Amino acid sequence: MLNFSKKNILLCVTGGIAAYKSAEIIRLFKKNGADVRVVMTESAKEFITPLTLQAVSGNDIHDSLLDEKAESAMGHIELAKWADIILIAPCTAETMSKITHGRADDLMGALILASKANVYIAPAMNTNMWMDKGTQNNYQKLLSRNYTFIGPADGEQACGDVGPGRMVEPNDIIDLIISSLKNGPLANKIVTITAGPTREQIDPVRFISNNSSGKMGYSIAEAALELGATVNLVSGPVSIKADKSINLIKVNSANQMLESVMNCMSDSDIFIGCAAVSDFKPSDYSESKIKKDSADNLDIKLEKNKDILSIVSDKFPSAYVVGFAAETSNVKENAKSKLISKNLNMIISNDVSDKSIGFDVDENEVNVITKDEIIFLKRDKKIRIARNVLNTIAAQINN
Ligand code: PMT
């Protein structure tokens, strides 16, 4: 599994001797699938050159709050929003003090204030500096504000002193971040998700289907995995690949999807129906290919498929059940009716009359609707919409 697949990691490098290890940290993040951008403080550049980190990360280095070039490419607020995870490594005593006091007099300080991403701190300093009351006060304050500390490690330091203060080794930093992601808010939860279209066969070579690519459903599955859930993904025929850690069950028809969902739901806590399930199927299946010269007109009688979502909410009342609503008009109102008629905990509406969102594209824009509130998620990549949706579900369940 690529642990940081599609994750945006912002590495902030500050001025300590351990800065030379940041190239290795970047390499490990990239090896695990991440896109890495680097912010350097002025003093960090005394220990490792920006050129080295630019070459390893494959991206320009960000080092200035007021840099016209940087602002036109990716300004500090965009960078703060871009990051899924921020790691400050090495983090000096001065940087800890700066964050504790919310100072924004350089790019790194401003980014930390502007970002909602999880911030990990890997301190690196002389052992007496680490043990000093001022640093320890800052440490406690940052812990209480939900910053996650990695280390410092104990041992011999560059200055010859021995004790806590060394930066944790790059391999261990990466492992600790991975394991903290696995202990996310959906740890111990089993989530069953449907994705993609269904195919309702008319004869061996023809079928009724739709344009669902599976991108939204597979993103939902990845986001659930990132929050620590065990994930079953019941998928119609699509051309994208699922992460190896996802239990992928491939199906064709709505009936097969229903059967697989029922099997998974016996021990699932959450169901998310993102598939574009065909509402109708041919009443009769022709075992042999229907010949085009058998008649000038062909009538195909259709009958309704069973509604998977309604069956799940009916048969598994203790599960948290989420539907999607693909609408072309009165989007919120129609979705809200489905929330009630299908007895759901949440429904996510998307306006599929807009061809740039919804079916078979990389972005979406949705309303997350519960009985109590509507949260609008503006146009964004499907993986980011999915992360937002899953965090909302986790918050609802854990409350
Ligand atoms: O796959 P992509 O290309 O990324 O596109 C994503 C998407 C547009 C398919 C997705 O965002 C979406 O909107 N999925 C739901 C599509 C749909 O079928 O909507 P609906 O309004 O017709 O159905 C409402 C809900 O009932 C859905 O959760 C659907 O999965 C469910 N349903 C519908 C019919 C049926 N027989 N059984 C069901 O469970």
pLDDT in tens, the chain (399 residues): 568 888 899 999 999 999 999 999 999 999 999 999 999 999 999 999 999 999 999 999 999 887 776 666 667 888 999 999 999 999 999 999 999 999 999 999 999 999 989 999 999 999 999 999 999 999 999 999 989 999 999 988 778 888 899 999 999 999 999 988 878 899 999 999 999 999 999 999 999 999 999 999 999 999 999 899 999 999 999 999 998 889 999 999 999 999 999 999 999 999 999 999 999 999 999 999 999 887 888 999 999 999 999 999 999 999 999 999 999 999 999 999 999 999 999 999 999 999 999 999 999 999 999 999 999 999 999 998 999 999 999 999 988
CA-based angle 105:23:219, to the nearest 5? 85
Domain 8-182 has CATH 3.40.50.1950: yes
Residue with the nearest Cα to atom 27 of ligand 1? Answer: 324
CA distance 117 to 364: 21
In ligand 1, the atom with minimum distance to the C-alpha of 366 is 11
For residue 327, report the distance from its CA to the centre of ligand 1, in Å.
Answer: 10
Containing 394, the helix (H) or strand (E) segment is: helix 382-398
CA distance 173 to 149: 10
Contact between residue 268 and residue 243 where contact means Cβ atoms under 8 Å apart: no
For residue 230, report the distance from its CA to the centre of ligand 1, in Å.
Answer: 22
Residue with the nearest Cα to atom 13 of ligand 1? Answer: 326
For residue 282, report the distance from its CA to the centre of ligand 1, in Å.
Answer: 19
Q: Which residues contact 49 (CB under 8 A, 6 or more apart)?
A: none
Quote the pLDDT of residue 155. Answer: 84
Q: Which CATH number fits domain 190-398: 1.10.357.10, 2.40.110.10, 3.90.1150.10, 3.40.50.10300?
A: 3.40.50.10300
CA distance 142 to 139: 5
CA distance 385 to 272: 14
Residue with the nearest Cα to atom 23 of ligand 1? Answer: 325
Catalytic residue numbers, as ranges: 159
Residue with the nearest Cα to atom 16 of ligand 1? Answer: 276
Quote the pLDDT of residue 182. Answer: 79
Quote the pLDDT of residue 97. Answer: 98
Of the candidates 281, 309, 331, 307, the residue with the CA atom closest to the CA atom of residue 193: 309
Residue with the nearest Cα to atom 31 of ligand 1? Answer: 309
For residue 168, report the distance from its CA to the centre of ligand 1, in Å.
Answer: 46
Q: Which residue has the tokens 């089993």?
A: 190
Quote the pLDDT of residue 71. Answer: 63
- List, chain by chain if needed, residues with CB within 6 Å of any ligand 1 atom: 194, 196, 212-217, 254, 273-277, 279, 305, 307-309, 323-326, 338, 350, 352, 358-360
For residue 366, report the distance from its CA to the centre of ligand 1, in Å.
Answer: 13
Residue with the nearest Cα to atom 24 of ligand 1? Answer: 325
Of the candidates 190, 176, 167, 172, the residue with the CA atom closest to the CA atom of residue 148: 176
Quote the pLDDT of residue 376. Answer: 96
Structure tokens belonging to residue 97:
């003090």
Domain positions in the chain: 8-182, 190-398
Query: Over the range 32-52, which residues count as b (16 or more CB within 10 Å of their CB) and which as e?
Result: bebbbbbbbbeebbebbebee
In ligand 1, the atom with minimum distance to the C-alpha of 219 is 4
Residue with the nearest Cα to atom 18 of ligand 1? Answer: 276
In ligand 1, the atom with minimum distance to the C-alpha of 309 is 39
For residue 224, report the distance from its CA to the centre of ligand 1, in Å.
Answer: 18
Q: Do domains 8-182 and 190-398 have the same CATH topology?
A: yes
Rounded (to 5) percent helix, strand, coil in the chain:
40, 25, 35
pTM: 0.80
In ligand 1, the atom with minimum distance to the C-alpha of 312 is 39
Contact between residue 346 and residue 368 where contact means Cβ atoms under 8 Å apart: yes
For residue 277, report the distance from its CA to the centre of ligand 1, in Å.
Answer: 6
In ligand 1, the atom with minimum distance to the C-alpha of 323 is 28
Tell me which of 324, 330, 332, 362 to substitute to probe ligand 1's pocket, judged by most ligand atoms within 8 Å of the beta carbon: 324
